[in-house]
Amino acid sequence: MLVYILGVVLFALGICISVALHEAGHMIAAKSFGMKVRRYFVGFGPTVFSFRRGETEYGLKWLPFGGFCDIAGMTALDEVTDDERPRAMYRFKTWKRTVVMAAGSFTHFVLGFVVLYLMAVTMGLPNLFGTPEISQVSSCVQDARTNQQYTNPTCEPGAPAPARDGGIRQGDVIVSVNGQETPTYNDVVAEVQNLSGPADFRVERGGEVIPLTVDVEKVTRPVSDPENPEATRLVDIGSIGVTFTNRWEYGAAGAVGGTAAFTGDLVVETWNRLLQLPERVPAVVESIFGAERDPNTPISVVGASRIGGEAAQEGLWELFFFLLASLNFFVGIFNLLPLLPLDGGHIAVTWYERVRDWLRKLRGKAAAGPVDYTKLNAVTMVIVVIGGAFVLLTITADVVNPIRITE
Protein backbone atom coordinates (compact mmCIF):
# COMPACT_ATOMS: atom_id res chain seq x y z
CA MET A 1 0.00 0.00 0.00
CA LEU A 2 2.87 2.36 0.78
CA VAL A 3 4.34 1.85 -2.70
CA TYR A 4 0.91 2.54 -4.23
CA ILE A 5 0.57 5.82 -2.33
CA LEU A 6 4.12 6.76 -3.29
CA GLY A 7 3.31 6.04 -6.94
CA VAL A 8 0.17 8.21 -6.80
CA VAL A 9 2.10 11.06 -5.18
CA LEU A 10 4.98 10.80 -7.67
CA PHE A 11 2.63 10.77 -10.65
CA ALA A 12 0.65 13.73 -9.32
CA LEU A 13 3.92 15.54 -8.67
CA GLY A 14 5.00 14.82 -12.23
CA ILE A 15 1.77 16.40 -13.50
CA CYS A 16 2.26 19.48 -11.29
CA ILE A 17 5.82 19.90 -12.53
CA SER A 18 4.62 19.59 -16.12
CA VAL A 19 2.03 22.34 -15.65
CA ALA A 20 4.52 24.56 -13.83
CA LEU A 21 6.99 24.15 -16.70
CA HIS A 22 4.18 24.89 -19.16
CA GLU A 23 3.84 28.34 -17.59
CA ALA A 24 7.61 28.68 -17.47
CA GLY A 25 7.61 28.13 -21.24
CA HIS A 26 5.31 31.13 -21.67
CA MET A 27 7.50 33.20 -19.35
CA ILE A 28 10.81 32.39 -21.01
CA ALA A 29 9.43 33.05 -24.50
CA ALA A 30 7.86 36.35 -23.41
CA LYS A 31 11.03 37.57 -21.71
CA SER A 32 13.15 36.61 -24.72
CA PHE A 33 11.06 38.95 -26.91
CA GLY A 34 11.16 41.81 -24.40
CA MET A 35 7.59 41.51 -23.10
CA LYS A 36 7.06 42.35 -19.46
CA VAL A 37 6.31 39.39 -17.20
CA ARG A 38 4.81 40.64 -13.97
CA ARG A 39 4.45 37.37 -12.02
CA TYR A 40 5.26 33.68 -12.27
CA PHE A 41 3.68 31.48 -9.59
CA VAL A 42 3.44 27.73 -9.09
CA GLY A 43 0.06 26.72 -7.68
CA PHE A 44 -3.05 28.71 -6.76
CA GLY A 45 -4.63 30.11 -3.63
CA PRO A 46 -2.84 31.81 -0.73
CA THR A 47 0.84 32.56 -1.22
CA VAL A 48 3.37 30.41 0.66
CA PHE A 49 6.28 32.65 -0.25
CA SER A 50 7.40 34.95 -3.04
CA PHE A 51 10.41 37.00 -4.04
CA ARG A 52 11.17 39.56 -6.70
CA ARG A 53 14.02 39.30 -9.14
CA GLY A 54 14.22 42.17 -11.55
CA GLU A 55 10.74 43.18 -12.68
CA THR A 56 9.15 39.74 -12.09
CA GLU A 57 7.70 38.34 -8.87
CA TYR A 58 8.23 34.60 -8.41
CA GLY A 59 6.41 32.51 -5.83
CA LEU A 60 4.69 29.37 -4.60
CA LYS A 61 1.02 29.04 -3.58
CA TRP A 62 -0.63 26.51 -1.30
CA LEU A 63 -2.71 24.61 -3.87
CA PRO A 64 -0.29 22.77 -6.19
CA PHE A 65 -2.75 22.51 -9.08
CA GLY A 66 -0.92 24.21 -11.91
CA GLY A 67 0.33 27.78 -11.91
CA PHE A 68 0.19 30.98 -13.89
CA CYS A 69 2.33 33.47 -15.77
CA ASP A 70 1.11 37.07 -15.78
CA ILE A 71 2.31 38.83 -18.95
CA ALA A 72 1.41 42.51 -19.26
CA GLY A 73 -1.15 43.12 -22.01
CA MET A 74 -1.93 39.52 -23.01
CA THR A 75 -5.04 41.07 -24.61
CA ALA A 76 -5.95 44.66 -25.39
CA LEU A 77 -8.49 44.53 -22.53
CA ASP A 78 -5.82 44.02 -19.89
CA GLU A 79 -5.03 47.07 -17.83
CA VAL A 80 -1.44 48.22 -18.26
CA THR A 81 0.50 51.11 -16.77
CA ASP A 82 2.17 53.76 -18.87
CA ASP A 83 5.53 52.08 -18.24
CA GLU A 84 4.19 48.69 -19.32
CA ARG A 85 2.32 49.83 -22.45
CA PRO A 86 5.33 49.82 -24.85
CA ARG A 87 6.08 46.23 -23.82
CA ALA A 88 2.50 44.98 -23.66
CA MET A 89 2.12 41.64 -25.40
CA TYR A 90 -0.68 42.79 -27.74
CA ARG A 91 1.68 45.38 -29.27
CA PHE A 92 4.15 42.76 -30.52
CA LYS A 93 4.18 41.14 -33.95
CA THR A 94 1.81 38.27 -34.63
CA TRP A 95 4.51 35.62 -34.93
CA LYS A 96 6.06 36.61 -31.60
CA ARG A 97 2.73 36.43 -29.80
CA THR A 98 2.12 33.06 -31.43
CA VAL A 99 5.45 31.73 -30.21
CA VAL A 100 4.73 32.92 -26.66
CA MET A 101 1.27 31.32 -26.58
CA ALA A 102 2.50 28.07 -28.16
CA ALA A 103 5.52 27.82 -25.85
CA GLY A 104 3.46 26.13 -23.13
CA SER A 105 2.40 23.26 -25.38
CA PHE A 106 5.90 23.06 -26.83
CA THR A 107 7.18 22.51 -23.29
CA HIS A 108 4.83 19.52 -22.89
CA PHE A 109 6.13 18.02 -26.14
CA VAL A 110 9.72 18.45 -24.95
CA LEU A 111 8.92 16.88 -21.58
CA GLY A 112 7.19 13.94 -23.25
CA PHE A 113 10.17 13.44 -25.55
CA VAL A 114 12.64 13.58 -22.66
CA VAL A 115 10.65 10.98 -20.67
CA LEU A 116 10.50 8.66 -23.69
CA TYR A 117 14.21 9.17 -24.41
CA LEU A 118 15.12 8.21 -20.84
CA MET A 119 12.91 5.15 -21.20
CA ALA A 120 14.61 4.24 -24.48
CA VAL A 121 18.12 4.23 -22.99
CA THR A 122 17.17 2.51 -19.72
CA MET A 123 14.20 0.13 -20.09
CA GLY A 124 13.44 0.35 -23.82
CA LEU A 125 10.39 1.61 -25.68
CA PRO A 126 7.32 -0.65 -25.91
CA ASN A 127 6.21 -1.89 -29.32
CA LEU A 128 2.97 -0.08 -28.69
CA PHE A 129 1.77 0.13 -32.27
CA GLY A 130 2.49 -3.49 -33.14
CA THR A 131 5.27 -2.96 -35.68
CA PRO A 132 5.86 -6.46 -37.16
CA GLU A 133 9.59 -6.55 -36.52
CA ILE A 134 11.03 -10.02 -36.03
CA SER A 135 12.89 -10.56 -32.75
CA GLN A 136 13.45 -14.30 -33.16
CA VAL A 137 13.17 -16.89 -35.92
CA SER A 138 12.30 -20.34 -34.58
CA SER A 139 14.08 -23.51 -35.59
CA CYS A 140 10.69 -25.20 -36.09
CA VAL A 141 6.97 -24.76 -35.56
CA GLN A 142 5.16 -26.76 -32.89
CA ASP A 143 1.96 -28.77 -33.20
CA ALA A 144 -0.47 -29.47 -30.35
CA ARG A 145 -1.56 -32.86 -31.69
CA THR A 146 1.62 -34.27 -30.23
CA ASN A 147 1.48 -32.74 -26.76
CA GLN A 148 5.07 -33.56 -25.95
CA GLN A 149 6.31 -31.76 -29.04
CA TYR A 150 4.08 -28.72 -28.42
CA THR A 151 5.11 -28.26 -24.81
CA ASN A 152 8.75 -29.17 -25.39
CA PRO A 153 10.63 -26.47 -27.34
CA THR A 154 13.18 -29.02 -28.58
CA CYS A 155 12.83 -29.43 -32.34
CA GLU A 156 12.77 -32.89 -33.87
CA PRO A 157 15.05 -33.60 -36.86
CA GLY A 158 13.38 -32.51 -40.07
CA ALA A 159 10.70 -30.44 -38.29
CA PRO A 160 9.37 -27.68 -40.56
CA ALA A 161 10.77 -24.16 -40.06
CA PRO A 162 8.92 -22.00 -42.62
CA ALA A 163 10.32 -18.59 -41.66
CA ARG A 164 13.92 -19.79 -41.33
CA ASP A 165 13.81 -21.79 -44.56
CA GLY A 166 12.03 -18.95 -46.39
CA GLY A 167 14.84 -16.49 -45.60
CA ILE A 168 13.22 -14.37 -42.90
CA ARG A 169 15.82 -13.00 -40.49
CA GLN A 170 15.90 -11.38 -37.09
CA GLY A 171 15.29 -7.64 -37.47
CA ASP A 172 13.17 -7.98 -40.62
CA VAL A 173 9.85 -6.12 -40.71
CA ILE A 174 7.07 -7.96 -42.53
CA VAL A 175 5.34 -5.35 -44.70
CA SER A 176 2.93 -7.57 -46.66
CA VAL A 177 1.64 -11.14 -46.94
CA ASN A 178 0.23 -12.34 -50.28
CA GLY A 179 -0.21 -8.74 -51.39
CA GLN A 180 -2.01 -7.65 -48.21
CA GLU A 181 -0.25 -4.86 -46.33
CA THR A 182 0.55 -5.75 -42.71
CA PRO A 183 1.28 -2.57 -40.71
CA THR A 184 1.01 -4.44 -37.36
CA TYR A 185 1.94 -7.90 -36.13
CA ASN A 186 -1.76 -8.59 -35.55
CA ASP A 187 -2.27 -8.10 -39.29
CA VAL A 188 0.52 -10.58 -40.00
CA VAL A 189 -1.00 -13.17 -37.65
CA ALA A 190 -4.46 -12.70 -39.17
CA GLU A 191 -3.15 -13.26 -42.70
CA VAL A 192 -0.83 -16.18 -41.89
CA GLN A 193 -3.40 -18.11 -39.86
CA ASN A 194 -5.58 -18.52 -42.97
CA LEU A 195 -2.73 -19.75 -45.18
CA SER A 196 -1.20 -23.11 -46.00
CA GLY A 197 1.66 -23.76 -48.40
CA PRO A 198 3.83 -21.29 -50.36
CA ALA A 199 2.96 -17.62 -49.80
CA ASP A 200 4.49 -14.35 -50.97
CA PHE A 201 6.06 -12.29 -48.17
CA ARG A 202 7.72 -8.91 -48.42
CA VAL A 203 10.07 -7.81 -45.66
CA GLU A 204 11.91 -4.57 -45.05
CA ARG A 205 15.59 -5.15 -44.37
CA GLY A 206 18.25 -2.45 -44.27
CA GLY A 207 15.96 0.06 -45.94
CA GLU A 208 15.09 -2.29 -48.83
CA VAL A 209 11.91 -4.28 -49.43
CA ILE A 210 12.80 -7.89 -50.22
CA PRO A 211 10.36 -10.45 -51.70
CA LEU A 212 10.42 -13.91 -50.13
CA THR A 213 8.48 -17.14 -50.56
CA VAL A 214 7.55 -18.82 -47.28
CA ASP A 215 5.98 -22.27 -47.12
CA VAL A 216 3.36 -21.70 -44.40
CA GLU A 217 2.86 -24.78 -42.20
CA LYS A 218 -0.63 -25.78 -41.08
CA VAL A 219 -0.45 -26.68 -37.40
CA THR A 220 -2.90 -27.42 -34.59
CA ARG A 221 -3.04 -25.02 -31.68
CA PRO A 222 -5.23 -24.74 -28.56
CA VAL A 223 -7.41 -21.63 -28.39
CA SER A 224 -10.00 -20.42 -25.88
CA ASP A 225 -13.49 -21.79 -26.44
CA PRO A 226 -15.87 -18.81 -26.82
CA GLU A 227 -18.73 -20.89 -25.38
CA ASN A 228 -16.66 -21.92 -22.36
CA PRO A 229 -13.88 -19.41 -21.54
CA GLU A 230 -12.29 -21.79 -19.03
CA ALA A 231 -11.83 -24.50 -21.67
CA THR A 232 -9.79 -24.70 -24.86
CA ARG A 233 -10.31 -26.36 -28.21
CA LEU A 234 -7.94 -27.36 -31.00
CA VAL A 235 -7.94 -25.49 -34.30
CA ASP A 236 -5.83 -25.73 -37.44
CA ILE A 237 -4.01 -22.50 -38.30
CA GLY A 238 -1.12 -21.39 -40.44
CA SER A 239 2.23 -20.75 -38.72
CA ILE A 240 5.69 -19.67 -39.84
CA GLY A 241 7.62 -19.76 -36.55
CA VAL A 242 8.55 -16.19 -35.61
CA THR A 243 8.42 -14.02 -32.50
CA PHE A 244 7.79 -10.29 -32.77
CA THR A 245 9.68 -7.58 -30.93
CA ASN A 246 7.96 -6.46 -27.74
CA ARG A 247 10.24 -3.52 -27.06
CA TRP A 248 13.10 -1.66 -28.68
CA GLU A 249 16.33 -0.99 -26.83
CA TYR A 250 18.78 1.73 -27.84
CA GLY A 251 22.12 3.25 -26.98
CA ALA A 252 22.37 6.92 -26.04
CA ALA A 253 22.87 8.07 -29.65
CA GLY A 254 20.48 5.69 -31.37
CA ALA A 255 17.74 6.53 -28.89
CA VAL A 256 17.37 10.04 -30.36
CA GLY A 257 16.08 8.80 -33.71
CA GLY A 258 14.12 5.95 -32.14
CA THR A 259 12.44 8.28 -29.67
CA ALA A 260 11.64 10.81 -32.40
CA ALA A 261 9.92 8.13 -34.51
CA PHE A 262 8.04 6.78 -31.50
CA THR A 263 7.01 10.30 -30.49
CA GLY A 264 5.61 10.96 -33.96
CA ASP A 265 3.48 7.80 -33.83
CA LEU A 266 2.32 8.60 -30.31
CA VAL A 267 1.32 12.17 -31.21
CA VAL A 268 -0.75 10.88 -34.14
CA GLU A 269 -2.40 8.28 -31.90
CA THR A 270 -3.08 10.93 -29.24
CA TRP A 271 -4.73 13.17 -31.82
CA ASN A 272 -6.92 10.29 -32.98
CA ARG A 273 -7.94 9.56 -29.38
CA LEU A 274 -8.76 13.25 -28.90
CA LEU A 275 -11.10 13.14 -31.90
CA GLN A 276 -12.83 10.09 -30.40
CA LEU A 277 -13.53 11.77 -27.03
CA PRO A 278 -17.14 12.85 -27.77
CA GLU A 279 -18.24 9.36 -28.80
CA ARG A 280 -16.73 7.83 -25.65
CA VAL A 281 -18.59 10.10 -23.22
CA PRO A 282 -21.73 7.88 -23.04
CA ALA A 283 -19.59 4.93 -21.92
CA VAL A 284 -18.14 7.06 -19.11
CA VAL A 285 -21.66 7.99 -17.96
CA GLU A 286 -22.75 4.33 -18.05
CA SER A 287 -19.73 3.29 -15.99
CA ILE A 288 -20.77 5.67 -13.21
CA PHE A 289 -24.08 3.81 -12.93
CA GLY A 290 -22.57 0.34 -12.73
CA ALA A 291 -21.63 -0.67 -16.28
CA GLU A 292 -18.21 -2.24 -16.77
CA ARG A 293 -15.61 0.48 -17.35
CA ASP A 294 -14.20 0.43 -20.86
CA PRO A 295 -10.39 0.79 -20.58
CA ASN A 296 -10.46 3.01 -23.68
CA THR A 297 -12.66 5.64 -22.05
CA PRO A 298 -11.03 8.96 -21.10
CA ILE A 299 -9.62 9.41 -17.61
CA SER A 300 -8.99 12.42 -15.40
CA VAL A 301 -5.83 13.41 -13.58
CA VAL A 302 -7.23 11.45 -10.62
CA GLY A 303 -7.58 8.32 -12.74
CA ALA A 304 -4.14 8.74 -14.29
CA SER A 305 -2.59 9.12 -10.82
CA ARG A 306 -4.35 5.98 -9.60
CA ILE A 307 -3.03 4.01 -12.55
CA GLY A 308 0.41 5.46 -11.88
CA GLY A 309 0.15 4.23 -8.29
CA GLU A 310 -0.88 0.73 -9.40
CA ALA A 311 1.96 0.66 -11.93
CA ALA A 312 4.46 1.56 -9.21
CA GLN A 313 2.97 -1.05 -6.86
CA GLU A 314 3.34 -3.77 -9.50
CA GLY A 315 6.81 -2.61 -10.53
CA LEU A 316 5.53 -1.57 -13.98
CA TRP A 317 7.66 1.55 -14.21
CA GLU A 318 7.58 1.35 -17.99
CA LEU A 319 3.81 1.93 -17.84
CA PHE A 320 4.25 4.67 -15.21
CA PHE A 321 6.61 6.75 -17.34
CA PHE A 322 4.81 5.99 -20.60
CA LEU A 323 1.55 7.24 -19.10
CA LEU A 324 3.29 10.40 -17.88
CA ALA A 325 4.72 11.05 -21.36
CA SER A 326 1.34 10.36 -23.00
CA LEU A 327 -0.40 12.78 -20.67
CA ASN A 328 2.07 15.52 -21.62
CA PHE A 329 1.40 14.95 -25.31
CA PHE A 330 -2.35 15.01 -24.73
CA VAL A 331 -2.24 18.26 -22.76
CA GLY A 332 0.10 19.80 -25.34
CA ILE A 333 -2.21 18.97 -28.25
CA PHE A 334 -5.44 19.78 -26.40
CA ASN A 335 -4.14 23.18 -25.34
CA LEU A 336 -3.55 24.12 -28.99
CA LEU A 337 -7.17 23.61 -30.00
CA PRO A 338 -8.53 26.92 -31.38
CA LEU A 339 -10.94 27.40 -28.48
CA LEU A 340 -10.92 30.09 -25.81
CA PRO A 341 -9.70 30.18 -23.08
CA LEU A 342 -7.07 27.69 -24.32
CA ASP A 343 -3.78 29.00 -25.71
CA GLY A 344 -4.88 27.79 -29.12
CA GLY A 345 -7.90 30.07 -28.88
CA HIS A 346 -5.68 33.09 -28.22
CA ILE A 347 -3.48 32.08 -31.16
CA ALA A 348 -6.57 31.83 -33.38
CA VAL A 349 -7.69 35.33 -32.37
CA THR A 350 -4.19 36.69 -33.01
CA TRP A 351 -4.12 35.29 -36.54
CA TYR A 352 -7.68 36.38 -37.20
CA GLU A 353 -6.55 39.94 -36.47
CA ARG A 354 -3.57 39.51 -38.78
CA VAL A 355 -5.58 38.13 -41.72
CA ARG A 356 -8.42 40.64 -41.19
CA ASP A 357 -6.02 43.61 -41.21
CA TRP A 358 -4.25 42.23 -44.30
CA LEU A 359 -7.55 42.05 -46.16
CA ARG A 360 -8.43 45.57 -45.02
CA LYS A 361 -5.07 46.80 -46.28
CA LEU A 362 -5.79 45.31 -49.72
CA ARG A 363 -8.98 47.36 -49.77
CA GLY A 364 -7.08 50.50 -48.75
CA LYS A 365 -8.47 50.56 -45.21
CA ALA A 366 -6.64 51.05 -41.93
CA ALA A 367 -6.11 48.22 -39.44
CA ALA A 368 -9.17 47.60 -37.28
CA GLY A 369 -7.30 47.16 -34.01
CA PRO A 370 -7.41 44.35 -31.44
CA VAL A 371 -10.41 42.03 -31.18
CA ASP A 372 -12.89 42.93 -28.43
CA TYR A 373 -12.72 39.88 -26.16
CA THR A 374 -15.94 40.88 -24.39
CA LYS A 375 -17.84 39.85 -27.53
CA LEU A 376 -16.36 36.35 -27.15
CA ASN A 377 -17.28 35.95 -23.48
CA ALA A 378 -20.45 33.97 -24.21
CA VAL A 379 -18.62 31.44 -26.38
CA THR A 380 -15.80 31.22 -23.86
CA MET A 381 -18.20 30.53 -21.00
CA VAL A 382 -19.92 27.74 -22.96
CA ILE A 383 -16.58 26.07 -23.56
CA VAL A 384 -15.58 26.52 -19.91
CA VAL A 385 -18.86 24.95 -18.73
CA ILE A 386 -18.53 22.01 -21.15
CA GLY A 387 -14.90 21.49 -20.17
CA GLY A 388 -15.70 21.69 -16.47
CA ALA A 389 -18.56 19.21 -16.85
CA PHE A 390 -16.28 16.79 -18.70
CA VAL A 391 -13.60 17.04 -16.00
CA LEU A 392 -16.21 16.46 -13.27
CA LEU A 393 -17.64 13.50 -15.19
CA THR A 394 -14.28 11.76 -15.62
CA ILE A 395 -13.25 12.41 -12.01
CA THR A 396 -16.53 10.89 -10.80
CA ALA A 397 -16.02 7.83 -12.99
CA ASP A 398 -12.43 7.47 -11.79
CA VAL A 399 -13.61 7.51 -8.17
CA VAL A 400 -16.74 5.36 -8.53
CA ASN A 401 -15.56 2.91 -11.20
CA PRO A 402 -11.84 3.41 -11.91
CA ILE A 403 -9.83 1.77 -14.66
CA ARG A 404 -7.45 -0.74 -13.07
CA ILE A 405 -4.42 -2.52 -14.42
CA THR A 406 -4.68 -5.20 -11.75
CA GLU A 407 -7.59 -7.13 -10.29
Give catalytic residues, as residue numbers: 23
Closest CA to 259 of 130, 117, 133: 117
How many residues would you count in the chain? 407
Q: Tell me, what DSSP letter sits at residue 90?
A: G
Cα separation, 92 vs 34, in Å, equals 9
CB 207 within 8 A of CB 189: no
* CB-based contacts of 197, cutoff 8 Å, min separation 6: 215, 216
Cα separation, 242 vs 163, in Å, equals 7
CA 156 and chain centroid, separation: 46
Question: How many H helices and E strands in the chain?
Answer: 11, 11
Closest CA to 348 of 105, 94, 34, 108: 94
Amino acid letter, 292: E
Cα separation, 134 vs 159, in Å, equals 21
| Category of 19 on φ-ψ map: left (φ > 0), alpha (ψ -120 to 50) or beta | alpha
